[in-house]
Structures are given as C-alpha cells and as structure tokens.
Structure 1
Amino acid sequence: MFEWTLQHIWLIPLMPLLVFALIGLFLHKWPGISAAISIISIATGLALSVVTLIGMLKGGQPLHYEISFPWLKMPGLTVEMGLLVDGLTVVMLFIVTLVAFLVQVYSLGYMEGDPGFASYYAYQSLFAAAMLGLVAANNFGQMFVFWELVGLASYLLIGFWFGKNSAREAAKKAFITNRVGDFGFLLGILFVQIIFGTLNFGELSPQVADYTNTALLVTVTLLLLAGPVGKSAQFPLHVWLPDAMEGPTPVSALIHAATMVAAGVYLIARAFFIFSATPEAMQVIAFIGGFTALFAALIAVTQYDIKRILAYSTLSQLGYMVMAMGLGAMTAGMFHLTTHAFFKALLFLGAGSVIYALHHEQDIRNMGGLSRKMPVTTWTFVIGALALAGIPPLAGFWSKDEILLSAYAGGYTGFYVLGLLVAFLTAFYMFRLIFTAFFGESHARGHHHAEVKESPLVMTIPLIILALMSVVAGFIGAPFTGNPFGHFVHYAGETHHEPEMVVAVTSALIGVLGIIAAYLVYARKMVSTARVKERLSGVYTLVYNKFYIDEIYLWFIKIFVDGTARLMFWIDINIINRLVDLSAEITGALGKALRYTEDGQVQTYAYYMLGGIIILSAAVLLAGLGIMR
C-alpha cells in the first residue's frame, strides 16, 4: 500500500484542483454537492498522507522519492514538473490535508446559509491544491507557479465577502504586498538558473556547496528570502496579515495560521542548503525573525479584536520559526511550524465559534462569561492557549523549547533572552484574551447574551480533534521519545540537542508568570489598566497603532508614488504632449504649403516647368560667364 501511495502521491494535489474546476464549471448551483465533493477530495488526500507518513515511520530511514519530466525546454533553460517526497514533504502534506479537512467540515456550520457557499468550497479546494503542489515541488520553477496560485486563492478567500469595502481593501493589500516579496523571489530564481543552470533542489545542493563567489551568493539568497518575508508576513512586509482577518474565520484558520503563512518558513527549510551557505544571510534571517517575533507580540498585547490578537500572535510565532532557521536550527523551526499549525488553527476556529455565537461580535471587551455558555469552545481554546504559551506537556512546550535550546546551546544569548521575553508576552496576551472574553462578568452589548449557546457539533468536533493534537503532537519531537521528527525531517547536518533542564524549567516558568500576570491584571483587577495607559500614554498609543507602520507606508505612497505619478503627468502634458503637438503643427504647416504644388491644374504644372527652365538657363549662363562654377 505504501509503495502504491508513494507512486500516486500526485493525486493529493490533483484531486482538489479537479474539484475546483468541477464546482466552478458545473456545480455552482448545488452548494451541498459542492461541499461534499470538496470534503471528500481533501479527506482522500489526508488518507494518502497518513499512509505515506506511517510507511515512512515504519521504514526506519529518512524517505527520498522523486519523479520529474521536462515541462519547458529552450536553449539555456529547462523547467521541470516533478514531485519530491521526503520527510519535509510528508510532514507538510499531513499538516495541510488534516487542517484543510477539519476547516472544511467546520465551515459546514460556520458558512451555513451564505449565498456564496459553493464558491467558498471551490476557493478552498483551489487553495488546498496550490498549497499541496507547492510543498511537493522538486524545483524552484514549479514551486513558484504554485506559490502564485496560493496567493491567488488567498486573495479570493480574504475578499470572499466582497460586498464589504474592508474585505475588498484587505484582499488587495494582501495581494499587492505579497507581489513585492514575490518579485524579489522571482529575481532570485532567475539568478539561480543563470548561475547554476538548474532549478532542481537535488541538483542545486552540491553546486551551491562548491560555489565560491560569496558576494553573489549572498545577493541571490537575500532575493530568495524576499519570498518568505512576504508570504510568512515578516517585517517589513507583515502589514497584510492583520487586515486579512476580514475574510471568513475558517479561512484565517487554514491560510493565516496553519498553511499559507507557513509556506515561507517551509521554503527556507526546503532550500536550507542555499540559505545556510552564507553566514551573512543567516544573520539577516535571524534578525528579521527575532525582531518580528517581539514586534508583533508587543502589538498583540494592546489589541481588542479577537482575530487580530491571534493574527499578531501568528506573526510573532512565524518570527520565532524564522529566527530558528537563521540560527541554523532548521529542524527546530519545522517542529514549531508543525505544532503551531494545530494549536493556532484550534485558536482561530475557537474564535470563529465565539464570533458565530455572538452574531459576528469580535471585540473582546463586549464578551465575558462565555465559559458557562460555551464550555467546549472555552476549554479547547484554553488548551490551545496553554500550548501556545509553552506550558508542559503540551505541544508548544516541546517545539518552543527546541528553538530556545538552539539559541542557548549555540551561544546566541541575545536571541535566547528575546525568545524568553516573547514567550512571556505570548502567555500574557493570550490569557488577557481568555480572562476577558471567557471568564468573569458578561459585557455583551446588544447580542442577547442569554441566548448565547454552544456551536453545533460540526464546529465543535474539529475543535476537540485539534485540541487533542495540541496535546500530543509535541511528543514526536520530545527528547525522551528519541525524536523521530528530527530523524526524518532534518537533512542539513543539524544535531538534536540533549534535554537541558535549565532551559526547560526557565521557559515553563516564564509562561506561567505570563499567565499569572494576566490573571492579576484582568481577572483580579489588581492593576488598573486605565492608569497604566494614562502613565504610558505615549508608548501605549505607539504600540496600539502598530508603530504607525501602515501610516508610514501610506505617507510613502502619497509622497513618492503619487508624487512621481503627478510629475510624470506634468511631463506628459507639458513636455511630451507639446512636443507631439509642435511636430503635428509643423507637419500640418508643411502640408498646407506643399498642397499648393499639387492642385491638379495643367497650367500650374506648366508654370513650374517654365520656372524650372528659367532657373536652369540662368545657372548655365552664369556658369558660362564664370560666375558659377
């Protein structure tokens, strides 16, 4: 069975792609059938992924299976279509298919009655196909094609409720921001082709190892890095992700928590042989990731929209992963990507359950007391928050500690301290959300709080499954289990660290302290938040307004982009148009003058001939007299 599945792994991305075409062309008027075939296709892909994962684990050795054939061939350029199945691929296939399946089941309840129900499942299938094709690609060219399809599907899903102006603007913002990063990524791919003559990952690895032009390799690496900075929403291209929360909440769980935003981290892991070849590039990666982790965590502390808190949390955790990659801990970064996919999808779907019950209220200040009304949503959400905060023995504890341990063992003291600070902030803002929204007195306004009830089973069962994964997923990389995750996923020469009690105890205590701080401030009210805001008004305003990065971009667009456009307009009107008009006037004047020479009258032509004869005779006469020579 394993061998058959391995040879037919291409069915996993193909099936949802065919479903997208079927719904779009034929089944748009039958939403129930559209949802059914979409869920069946992704469930089949999940089954194939599970078989592949089990077969790999039973094999006892890291997996490597590759097939390819030429897709585009011309002098100097050959682009392949192919599949590469190894530990990285299998892990990502499992994550994408499992989360996509649970999100699509959950959406049966959340999106019930929506007039675009069939279109929603078509877009979900397109996204799943694009993401699965991306993670299975064996070369940069094919990866870029699916990379752009992921961006298209994201645009369609973020702007799904296009009747809202905010949704339309968020979709455009996400699409345009990602184009900035993708432009750099494409330039990097072109440089790779020019320098090495191939885009295949397996063929590139030995060539990169032997390449000696460090300056050029750093340039190529940084251009490639632009793709992950955009797709994984790293500073300074992070601005699109919080606004992307305008899409349906299940979309946020699938795209902006578990899969699409993880594509950038996955790219760094897949092409780690390039990024790790230059220490300078690795330093840049680590600094971008570390800064994003702290920057986003600070913003999350001040937000009130439940989805935006989770969005900034996602930014912060992605920064954690990118920082790990920059420190050389590729396996640790991928381990955290894996566990984070489960508990962050759980948190987004839990937020969706709350929003559904409160008739699309998203401000946590208008919530409270939900634990009594929605016990399943509450306690699964708490499990997800504990995992995110890194509380043992939940999944986030093991993966977060791997990153902290990599920094600690590698002597990167600054990054280690930064990681601990982010861990504290993470625990604090997540339990600020929990103590405000789920516990304490109700603050619901205009939502008939007494009528609030638990979401239907089709929504709560995915929450329970993801909560279970948030508990057990970390054990695949725990040191006492022999770390099967590290054995099958890493291939970059990284060694798995032994357990370090100092790091483990410190990180766990930091998470607990964050929870206690949130409890004292938001549950016991021992600290007046209003007084803190008043005393730190300048700092609070700066952080609450997201450090005014969006405003800076708008100012830049207004001054430079719009200014350049106005300058070009003035040049077009006052210089280009005038030159064109002048040339037209000259041509017209010459035409008018020459028009009199062509009037069709025989007498006029006789006069011209007579004039010519007189001029010619005069010239001959003057020449004969010696006046003209």
Structure 2
Amino acid sequence: MLDYLFLVFALPLAGFVTLAFARGRLPEIPAAFVGVGSIGGAFLVYLLCAYQFLTNPPEGGAYTQVLWQWMQVGNLDIRLALRFDGLSLAMTGVITGVGFFIHLFASWYMRGDEAYDRFLSYMNLFVASMLFLVLGDNLVFLYFGWEGVGLASYLLIGFWYKDAANGYAARKAFVITRVGDTFMAIGLFILFTHFGTLDIQELMSKVAVEWKDGPMIATIAALLMLGGACGKSAQLPLQTWLPDAMAGPTPVSALIHAATMVTAGVYLIARTHVLFEVSPIGLEAVGWVGGVTALMAGFIALQQTDIKRVLAYSTMSQIGYMFLALGAGAYQPAIFHLMTHAFFKALLFLSAGSVILALHHEQDIFKMGNLRRDLPFTFWVFLIGSLGLIAFPGTSGFFSKDEILFEAFAGGNMHLYYMGLFGAFMTGLYTFRMIFIAFFGEAHHHGVHKPHSKFAHDLPLAILAVAALLGGFIHLPLDSVLPRHEFSEEMEHKKHMLEAISVAVSLSGVGLAWLIFGRSRKRAEALRDSRNPILRWWGAAFGFDWLYDLIFVKPYLWFIRVNAKDVVDQGITLIPEAFKILNGWAAQTQNGMLRWYAAAIGAGAVVIVGAVVIL
C-alpha cells in the first residue's frame, strides 16, 4: 500500500485543479463532493499506508518513494521523492485527518457563498501544499510546499476580497511570511554551498560530522532557518500577521491556526534538529523565542474582545510552547503537542464559527452571553476544547503540555520551565475569561439562529471533541526519527509532583478568571475600557504594528516619494521613448507610394543575394 503514498498529496491537488477549472459552474453539492471527497480520499490512503508502516515497518524505519528526477546539474541532483517515516506519518495524519473534518465543516459553513467552489479549491491547494512540505524528501521540495502554503494562505485570508481590510490582511500575511522565507532561502544556500546537497537525510548526516564542533557558520545557518520558522509559525518578531489572518472565513482560521501552516516552522526545526544541536546558540534562541512569544501572546489575549482573535493569540502562545520544547531538546513532546493542539484548537475555531453564524456574524464576546443555554451542544464542545487548551487532567493537552514542562525541568532548562509554567497560568486566565463572558451571564445578543445541517455541523465537532479528550493516548512512532531523552529514576519520581504543580497553576488561572470576569460583567467591561497604559499596551499587541510601521513602512514610503524621479526611473522611461522614435522612423516607410515599395523590395533582394554570394 505504501506504493500509493503519492495519492496522499495528488488527490487534494486533483481536487484543486478540478474546482479551479470549474470556474463557478459546479453546483454546491458536486463542488463539496470534490472538495471534501479529495481530502477524505487522501485521509483514507494515509490510514492504509500508516497501517502497513506500523504493522510491517520498512527497513531503517523509513520508506522513500521516488517519483521522478527533476534536474541534475553538476553536484545539484534534485529528485521528486516522498519520505514516509515517524515524523511525516504524524504530520500527514494531522493534516489529512483534521483537515478532512475542517473541510466537512466548511462545506456547511460556506453554503450560499457565491464563490463556494473557489473557496474549496483554495482549501484543497492549501492541504496539497502542506502535504508536499511534510512529505518532501529534500529541502528544495520542502521549500516548494512552503511557498505553496504561503500562496494558498494569501488566497484564503483575502477570500472576501471586496472588503479592502481583508485584502490588506492577506497582503500583510504574505509580505511578513516572505521575510521569513527569505531568511530560510539564504540558509538553504549556505547549506548547499558547504555540503553540495539538499537531501535532508544526507545533509543532516554531513552536518553532524563536519560541523560537530559548532562553527560560527552552523549558528548562522541555524538562525536563518529559525527566521523562516518564525515567519510561518508567527513567532517573535514575525508574529504580527497572525491576528489579522482572522479576516478569512472561520474554517480558514481553523486550517491555518490548528493543523497546518503555523505548525510548519515546528516541523522544519524538528526535521533539521541535527543542525540546531551542533549550534547551542541556535537551539537556545529557539527556546527563548518560543517562551517569550508564549507569554506575550497570553497577555495580549487578555485584552481582546473578538472571539477569533483570542483564539489566534492562543495559537501563537501554543506554538510558542512547541518552540520552547524544541529549544529544550524535547523534540518528541513538541510534535506530540503539535498533534494534540491540532485537535482542540480546530475544535475551538469551528465551535467559534458555529457561534458566529448563530449570532448573525457577531464576533464580539461582550455582545454574546448566556450561550450555554442557547447553544448547548456548541457550548459543551467548546468547553472540551478549552479544557484541552488549559491541559486539564485527562484531556489530550494534559499529556503533551506536561511532558514539555517535565523535560524542560529535567533537562535543567529552568528559565524555559518557569516561562512555560507562567504560560500555563495565563492560558487558564484568558481562556476562561472568554468562556465566562461569552457563555455565562446575561444574554447581550438579539437572538440565536440554529444551524440547518446537523450532519456537516455536528459530526466534525463531535469527532474533534473525542480527539481532544482521548488524543493524548495516541502513541507516535518518533523514536527512529527524533531523539528521546532518558532521565534518572529520581527525576522520573518527580514527574507526578511537577504535573500536580502545573495543573494547580493552570486551575489558579481559571479561578482568577472566575473572580474577575465570571462574577461581575461590569468588572470585565471596566478592564476592557480601562485607560491603564499597561492594559492598553497589551490590547495594542505590545505596539509591534506601530513600531514596524514607524521603522519600515513610513521610511520606505518617504523614500519612494522623494526618489520618484531618480536616475533609474529616468533611464527606464528612456526605453519606451526610444521605441517611439524607432516606430516613427519605421512608420515613414509606409507612405503608400508603390514605386517606393518596389525600390525597397529590389534593394532587399540585392542585399540578400549579395549576402549569399559573400557568405
């Protein structure tokens, strides 16, 4: 069955092509059948491949499928090949599995939209690009998938392009992630220059041997790759695009923020972890970036009023947790948390989409209230997702997040441990602030519109709720790909104590949320409208947009204005002017005089005959 691995990304790609060429001529039901069915087919093929991989593991713990040779120029030998190992197995399962249920929900959510098939085509392109990224056997095709994800995210974020704000959000995401992509491209050039290959396995083997002493060039390459990861995963300092990406339809938010795009940076660092291990500075930078981003996003989320933006900053914080884990050398817990996060965050975004449609596209949590009675099913699945987010005991998030904190503590990375612990407190605080305001208290809305389709609405939420509860019991076969740390027996005995501490810290955040936001809505509204400069600073996302506008955007626009007629522009304008002059000369030969034409033909014949005789 592994021979059919190529279908995992070929089916979504075929769905994209089919829907793209339909150009609006397909009715909604056939379009949904193609769009959702292609992802469902990819998920089915994945399950069959995963079953064979797990029951009859290939030699070396990895299966490689070479599709064709793309180019061979000197030392540059690039082939389109797929690699299926423990890491790509885990990532592909998340992308196709969670992606399928997001597509199914989207087929209900987008019903009635005039560009229904175009939306599903973009979703298919997004999934196909992400699968290309995680299955690619070399960094060239990984980079192609990387850029494909960037293109598809631009199309999806700006899907409702008639609103100028949506177009701006799409351009912002595209430009900022291109900054990270440029860093990554330079890193790839450095690696190829030094090792003559971009095949991931060969490259990492050479890095481990030739850069084992940690030369400065290794640190430079690692930091450049980290820059690329920060762009795609919305980590400091390239994080400002993520909240604005909420301009896209809610299923887009679920796809980008849960199962796919924002996890690409985590996958990249995990896949190239050997490079970071030979560069202690690079590995330390990964941990600090993740820890600081996790805390910063938690403070910002406390002052947001849009339910989707709260979840967006929550995603930024949770991806920060994964970077923190990578920086602590806890590679397997990082990927484990990536998987569990996909379950409960996709559930939260889709539940939020259900709330938004029920309230006639209202997203302000202060204009909701008492939704636990009006939308009981949505409330319970939203609560399950939230419990997974705060790592409540027994949920999937508990197993993955506590494993990160334990390995950070056991590995002696105390600064990362304390940042993660404080992040757990902030997660409980901002998550249940959202729940107490939106689902409890008095209703502040104008009626609820119940969903029409129970199947496409309820089934994805129910399945994801089960996964958010039980996903922590899934065992990922990562031992052959990522190192596992062994700790002393004494340290293992401390694990339950550390788990109790993290649970207590998280629940204390929930308790504080109840005291501040659950008991009195007026107190919550007072904090929202507070003139306190610290709270306003948090609400403005620490002023990064203002700072970047001041440092980069305004100077660039000023330079364009004062340099509008520079030498280069003047030189470029001479080109069309020269062609105009030449055209004028050529036009004079077309004067309507037959004798002139006959003379020109004769002269031309003489020139041709003379050239033939001479040459």
The two structures share one fold, judged by TM-score above 0.5 = yes
Give 1:399 deviation, angstroms: 0.4
Contact 2:218/2:279, CA 8 A, preserved across alignment: yes
> What are the residue-to-residue correspondences of 1:391-410 with 2, within 5 Å?
391-410=392-411
1:88 corresponds to 2:83: no
* Aligned counterparts of 1:569 and 1:205: Cα–Cα separation in 2: 47
Distance in 1 between residues matched to 2:530 and 2:239, nearest whole Å: 29
Separation (CA, whole Å) in 1 of partners of 2:443 and 2:195: 63
| Number of the residue aligned with 1:620 | none
Distance 1:79 1:113 in 2: 44
**Relative to structure 1, is the Cα distance of residues 357 and 267 closer, same or farther in structure 2, using a 3 angstrom cutoff?**
same
Secondary structure in 1 matching 2:461: helix
AA aligned to 2:62 is H
SS in 1 for 2:234: coil
Task: State how 1:344-359 maps to structure 2 within 5 Å.
Answer: 344-359=345-360
Q: Which amino acid aligns with 2:378?
A: T
How far did residue 174 of structure 1 move? 0.5
For the 8 Å contact 1:336–1:399, the answer to whether it is kept is yes
Q: 1:11 aligns with which of 7, 12, 31?
A: 7
Deviation per CA, 1:502-550: give whole Å up to 9, x if none: 1110111112111111112222129934665788701011111111100
Distance 2:513 2:238 in 1: 30
Q: Hey, what's the Cα distance between the residues in 2 that align with 1:512 and 1:433?
A: 15
SS at match of 2:69: strand
1-structure distance, mates of 2:479, 2:556 = 48
Match of 2:540 among 521, 534, 545: 545
- CA deviations on 1:373-397 (whole Å, 9 max, x unpaired) are 1111100000000000011010001
Q: What corresponds to 2:42 in structure 1?
A: 45
- Structure 1 residue 317, shift from structure 2 partner: 0.4
Contact 2:181 2:231 in 1 (8 A): yes
After superposition, the C-alpha distances for 1:46-72 in whole angstroms (9 at most, x for unaligned) are 112222333333347883111334312
Q: Is 1:29 matched up with 2:25?
A: yes
More divergent stretch after superposition (492-501 vs 299-308): 492-501
- What corresponds to 1:63 in structure 2? 61
Q: Whole-Å Cα distance in 2 between the matches of residues 206 and 453 of structure 1?
A: 56
Percent identical among aligned pairs is 40
2:613 corresponds to which residue?
Answer: none
Matched positions, count: 566
Cα deviation, residue 225, structure 1:
1.4
Q: 1:536 to 1:67 in 2, by over 3 A?
A: same
Residue 467 of structure 1: aligned partner: 465
2:428 corresponds in structure 1 to 427
In the other structure, the counterpart of 2:74 is 75
Counterpart residue identity of residue 299, structure 1: I
How many angstroms apart in 1 are the aligned matches of 2:395 and 2:525?
34
Residue type matched to 2:523 in 1? S
**Deviation digits for residues 266-310 of structure 1 (CA, Å, limit 9, x no counterpart):** 111111111222111001111111111111111001100000000
Q: Are residues 60 and 487 of structure 1, via their aligned partners in 2, closer, same or farther at CA, if it must alter by over 3 Å? A: farther
**1:169 corresponds to which residue?**
168
The answer to whether the 8 A contact 1:294-1:422 is kept is yes
Give the distance between the partners of 2:160 and 2:526, measured in 1 at CA: 39
C-alpha spacing 1:51/1:116, structure 2 compared with 1 (3 Å):
same
Distance 1:196 1:37 in 2: 43
Letter in 2 for 1:515: V
Instruction: Give the CA deviation at 1:205.
Output: 1.9
- State the distance in 2 between where 1:11 and 1:527 align: 55
Q: Which amino acid aligns with 2:172?
A: K
Deviation, structure 1 residue 431: 0.7
| Cα offset, 1:363, TM superposition | 0.2
Structure 1 position 567, deviation (Å): 4.3
Q: Distance in 2 between matches of 1:398 and 1:259?
A: 21
Q: Residue 354 of structure 1 aligns to which amino acid in structure 2?
A: V
- Where does residue 492 of structure 1 map in the other structure? 483
Which stretch shows the higher mean deviation, 279-288 or 28-37?
28-37
1:207 aligned onto 2:206: yes
- CA–CA distance in 1 between the matches of 2:232 and 2:372? 35
Distance between the aligned counterparts of 2:358 and 2:519, measured in 1?
Answer: 26
Q: CA deviation at 1:565?
A: 2.4
Letter of the structure 2 residue corresponding to residue 19 of structure 1: G
Question: TM-score scaled to structure 2, two decimals?
Answer: 0.88
Matches within 5 A, 1:140-151: 140-151=139-150
Shift of 1:427: 0.9
CA RMSD, 1 decimal: 2.3
Secondary structure in structure 1 of the residue aligned to 2:483: coil
1:395-433 alpha-carbon deviations (Å, 9 max, x no partner): 001100011011110111121111111111111111111
Report if aligned partners of 2:357, 2:449 keep a CA contact under 8 Å in 1: no
CA distance in 1, matches of 2:104, 2:561: 51
Corresponding position of 1:258: 259
**Partners of 2:63 and 2:85 within 8 A in 1:** yes
- Rounded to whole Å, the distance in 1 between the matches of 2:479 and 2:205 is 21
Give deviations 1:194-247, integer Å, cap 9, x for gaps: 110111111112210112461111111111111111000001110111000000
Structure 1: gaps (5+ residues):
477-483, 585-629
Q: Does 1:414 align with 2:415?
A: yes
- Describe the superposition over 1:13-70 as per-residue Cα deviations: whole angstroms up to 9, x where unpaired: 0011111111111363113212101211111111122223333333478831113343
2-structure distance, mates of 1:440, 1:455:
26
1:303 aligns to what SS in structure 2?
Answer: coil
Match of 1:616? none
Which shifted more, 62-71 or 464-473? Answer: 62-71
Q: Which position in structure 1 is the counterpart of 2:497?
A: 502
- The reply on whether 1:520 has 2:515 as its aligned counterpart is yes
Letter in 1 for 2:46: S
Tell whether the 8 Å contact from 1:64 to 1:84 is kept in structure 2 after alignment: yes
Using a 3 Å threshold, how does the CA distance of structure 1 residues 475 and 99 change in structure 2: closer, same or farther?
A: same
* 1:37-436 equivalences in 2 (<5 Å): 37-59=34-56, 63-68=61-66, 69-212=68-211, 214-436=215-437
Q: Structure 2: how far apart are the matches of 1:411 and 1:474?
A: 25
Asked if 2 retains the 8 angstrom alpha-carbon contact of 1:232 and 1:318, the reply is: yes
**Aligned mates of 1:303, 1:73 — CA distance in 2:** 52
Cα distance in 1 for residues equivalent to 2:439 and 2:114: 31
Q: Is the 8 A contact 1:356 1:455 kept in 2?
A: no
Per-residue CA shift, 1:62-109, capped at 9, x if unaligned?
831113343122123222210110001111111111111111111122
> Which is further off, 133-142 or 38-47?
38-47
CA contact (8 A) 2:139 2:199 kept: yes
Return the alpha-carbon distance in structure 1 between the equivalents of residues 32 and 175 of structure 2. 30
User: In structure 1, how many angstroms separate the alpha carbons of the residues matched to 2:529 and 2:114?
Assistant: 46
Which residue pairs with 2:563 in the alignment?
568
Shift in Å at residue 367 of structure 1? 0.1
Alpha carbons of 1:495 and 1:11: their partners in 2 closer, same or farther (altered >3 Å)? farther
Matched residue SS, 1:80: strand
> What one-letter code is carried by the residue in structure 1 that aligns with 2:86?
G
- CA distance in 2 between counterparts of 1:54 and 1:469 reads 19
Asked if structure 1 preserves the Cα contact closer than 8 Å seen for 2:451 and 2:457, the reply is no
Query: Cα distance 1:424–1:106, how it changes in 2: closer, same or farther (>3 A)?
Result: same
Q: Say whether the 8 Å CA contact 1:389–1:426 is kept in structure 2.
A: yes
1:526–1:44 CA distance, 2 compared to 1 (3 A):
closer
Q: Deviations over 1:443-477 (max 9, x none)?
A: 11xxx31x44356311121111100000111122x
- Structure 2 CA distance for aligned equivalents of residues 255 and 111 of structure 1: 17
CA gap 1:494/1:56 in 2 versus in 1, 3 angstroms: farther
CA distance in 2, matches of 1:198, 1:313: 38
**Cα distance in 1 between the residues matched to 2:521 and 2:110:** 41
Residue identity matched to 1:209: A
Hey, what does 2:584 align to over in structure 1? none
**Inter-partner Cα distance in structure 1 for 2:522 and 2:53:** 53
After superposition, the Cα gap between the structure-2 partners of 1:569 and 1:326, relative to the gap in structure 1 and judged at 3 Å, is same
Deviations 1:124-147 (A, max 9, x none): 111111111111001100100111
